[in-house]
Structures are given as C-alpha cells and as structure tokens.
Amino acid sequence: MYNVNNIFGIQNGYKGFYSSNYVAITPKTVNDIHKRGGTVLGTSRGGHDTKKIVDNIQDRGINQVYIIGGDGTQKGAYEIYKEIRKRGLKVAVAGVPKTIDNDIAIIDKSFGFDSAVEEAQRAINSAHVEACSAENGIGLVKLMGRYSGFIAMYATLASRDVDCCLIPESPFYMDGEGGLLQYVERRLKENKHMVIVVAEGAGQDIIAKSIPASDQLDASGNKLLLDIGLWLTHKIKDHFKSKKMEMTIKYIDPTYMIRAIPSNAADNVYCTLLAHSAIHGAMAGYSFTVGMVNGRHAYIPFYRVTSTRNKVKITDRMWARLLSSTNQPSFLRQKDIDEAREADRLTNKPPLPPVANQNVAKAFDQSASASSNGEI
C-alpha cells in the first residue's frame, strides 16, 4: 500500500541505527503489542552519534523515519533532521511524543500520561488504606516527575484521598510557621491520618542543604536525584519523635510499576490517532513532531517542542484546584509567586528558530519529498 516496500524497527534506541539492530515489521508482528507494557523494540539511555545514524539512513535508502519518545528523544530527532537537511537528503522525520511525565512543550498531553495517572491512583489508594489502619498513620507515595509534577498533581486530583501534594514547580519548606511539618502535625490531630504524594524532583534544594549533593549525571546527562521520599520519611519520623507523639509512616515507591503497565483505553485511542497523523504528514514529505494542540492534531516544528519543557503552572487554576482539594497551604512566599509568573511569561514567549532566514510563521518545516525506493 502507498508503494511502501519495507518497514523496519530499530532495536535498543538510537544506537540501534549503527549497530545493525534492524527487525522487519509486519502487521502480524505488531498485531497485539498495544496490549503489552514496555517496548517491543527495546530502549537505551545516553548520547548517540548523529552522523553515524544519518549515514545508516542514507546507506539503506530509508526515506521516512518515525521516532517515538520523550523530550530527550525529540531533541535527538531534531538533530537527525538537521543533519538530513544539511546533506539535502529526501527523508521525512516524524516525532511522536511518548512520555508519562507529560513534560513535552506545546502539546496538550503526551501518550502514556493518562495510563500513568490511572495506575498512580492504585498506589495512593494503598497508602490511604495503610494510613487509615494505624493511629496517626501517614501514607507517603513518591511518583515520577523529575522536572514536571503532572502525574502527582493529576493523580492527587483524581484520588481525593490526598492531604498534601509536593511537586518540583512549587517550593516548600519544612520547619517553622506554615511549614510542611507543622501542617502534617495539624492534619494528624484533626483526622488521625493523612496521605502525602511527592514527585521525585520535588524539594531537591532542601535535601541538598542537609545531604551533600552529588554532581553525578545519568546516561542521558540528567543530574542524579536524591531520594525525596526516604528523606521526607526520616524527617517526619524525627519531628514526631522530638514531639513525643506516636505515629506510623508507610513509604510507597511505585515508580517503575507505573511505567511498565499496558496503556489504558484512552491512551490506546490517542496513540492510534497520533500514528495516523504522523503517517499522513511523513507521506506528504514533512518533518515535524505530531501532537494534539488545543484539541486539534497539529504538525509542530522540532525547535518548538525542544526549546523548553512543559511544567505545572503554580499560578494557574489547576494548581489552585489542587490546593482546594487537599486543603494544604501553598507553602509559597511572594518571591516564589513572582518568580513563577516571570517563568510563565518567558515560557509563553515563542523561541526563534536557529536558522535566521527560517519563516517563523510556518506551521511546520517541510523536508524534501520522499525517495523513490519506498523503503521506510
């Protein structure tokens, strides 16, 4: 169909391009992969050699490349696209955003996010049961979210059992008037139990003051995070011990359980629509990241989705709704609010493309038309 002769899957991420990790893809081989979690092609972390990848694309006569993944993957797709354009190759590059963190800019949401929020609720429900089963019981759940706290925020709103949600975008402090420890103590005196949800990237600046921070980076170049969940657990225990107040805290870390589940029905439908849009655009010869923007499918230039990161706006109504749901204090000073507003202003300012003569008004970048051999 459409003069497509061969379709290949690249195993183990970008490095699979120049490691000859190619597998033939047919309708039969992908018939039921949507019912499984994880990835059938495998994945990898870390950098890649863009020139080697494009050499391989050129040598094999590939004319369409579909790249699926999060913000780091989309940045890699942009580098590949630039190298392809530099060489004048007739190859279309289509990026499909897939990350549970929902931190890709411009688009309404990324594939995988709804499934992650749904599974996160199971961990929160377990924490609530444990907290209710003990006098002065606390259930503490750590969820994914290195830079963006969307999973924690939406899981909290969906659950309605959470008394406090902590995310990277919203600073908080532990001690003193209006601090987290004072709120936890007050909540236990009122309800005899409470549930706390924390995103993995929250409170890193506070932990660094009491624990020497490591400058080590992971394979993708991200700074290794300190465990906010364990740190909070010990801090809360020490606080109540000093107050001679009995309490029980149960710490739940469902991180990889959430990421490994099969997608739910909503994500299955969304993924299908993204795939259709990506194919239509690539067949027309365009290079882009595909996504839903204000409820409509759109082709977005790579530089727009890679120049910034989608984050929770703590000056927005959704965060205000969360504060109303949990009844937690904002933990914010006026300085924090002013800084958040300035960050929102800068985020909403569209970046200029790296090429000076590129037309900013174009909805997407057009690459050359597809090559004639029909291989994908």
Q: Could you give the percent of the chain with pLDDT greater than 90?
A: 65
* pTM, to two decimals: 0.85
Residue 14 lies in a domain: yes
Phi, psi of 298 (to 5 degrees): -140, 155
Same domain for 129 and 248: yes
Same domain for 21 and 66: yes
- Where is average pLDDT lowest: 66-70, 249-253, 360-364? 360-364
Render pLDDT for 193-230 as a digit per residue (tens, 0 to 9): 999 999 999 999 899 887 766 666 655 556 778 899 99
Number of domains, the chain: 2
Same domain for 174 and 235: yes
Same domain for 153 and 13: no
The C-alpha atoms of residue 150 and residue 187 are separated, in whole angstroms, by: 24
Residue 232 lies in a domain: yes
User: Over 60: is that where the pLDDT of 185 sits?
Assistant: yes
The C-alpha atoms of residue 143 and residue 225 are separated, in whole angstroms, by: 13
For residue 222, the model assigns a pLDDT of 65
Q: Which domain holds residue 291?
A: 8-110+265-306
Residue 374 lies in a domain: no
Same domain for 118 and 60: no
Same domain for 179 and 103: no
Residue 253 lies in a domain: yes
The total number of residues written for the chain in this structure = 376
For residue 311, the model assigns a pLDDT of 94
For residue 330, the model assigns a pLDDT of 87
CATH of the domain at 197: 3.40.50.460
Same domain for 22 and 57: yes
Q: Where are the beta strands (DSSP E) in 241-329?
A: 248-252, 286-293, 296-300
Render pLDDT for 110-141 as a digit per residue (tens, 0 to 9): 999 999 999 999 999 999 999 999 999 999 99
DSSP 13-61: SGGGGTTT-EEE--TTTTTTGGGSSS-SS----S---HHHHHHHHHHHT
For residue 256, the model assigns a pLDDT of 86
Same domain for 319 and 210: yes
Residue 188 lies in a domain: yes
Tokens 């050359």 locate to 368
Same domain for 154 and 64: no
The C-alpha atoms of residue 195 and residue 299 are separated, in whole angstroms, by: 41
- Where is average pLDDT lowest: 10-19, 100-109, 126-135? 10-19
Phi, psi of 77 (to 5 degrees): -60, -40
- Other beta carbons within 10 angstroms of residue 203's beta carbon come to 24
Strongest mean pLDDT among 26-30, 33-37, 156-160? 156-160
Same domain for 322 and 287: no
Residue 361 lies in a domain: no
* Mean pLDDT on 311-325: 93
For residue 359, the model assigns a pLDDT of 44
Residue 275 lies in a domain: yes
Which residues have a catalytic role annotated? 101
CATH of the domain at 52: 3.40.50.450
User: Over 60: is that where the pLDDT of 351 sits?
Assistant: no
Same domain for 74 and 220: no
The C-alpha atoms of residue 129 and residue 139 are separated, in whole angstroms, by: 8
Phi, psi of 75 (to 5 degrees): -65, -40
Q: Could you give the percent of the chain with pLDDT greater than 70?
A: 87
Same domain for 281 and 216: no
User: Over 50: is that where the pLDDT of 309 sits?
Assistant: yes
pLDDT band at 273 (very low <50, low <70, confident <90, very high): very high
Residue 228 lies in a domain: yes
3-state secondary structure of 7: coil
For residue 2, the model assigns a pLDDT of 62
For residue 54, the model assigns a pLDDT of 95
Average pLDDT, the chain: 87
- Identify which of 198, 195, 234 has the alpha carbon closest to the alpha carbon of residue 327: 195
User: Over 60: is that where the pLDDT of 236 sits?
Assistant: yes
For residue 350, the model assigns a pLDDT of 57
Render pLDDT for 353-369 as a digit per residue (tens, 0 to 9): 554 344 433 433 444 33
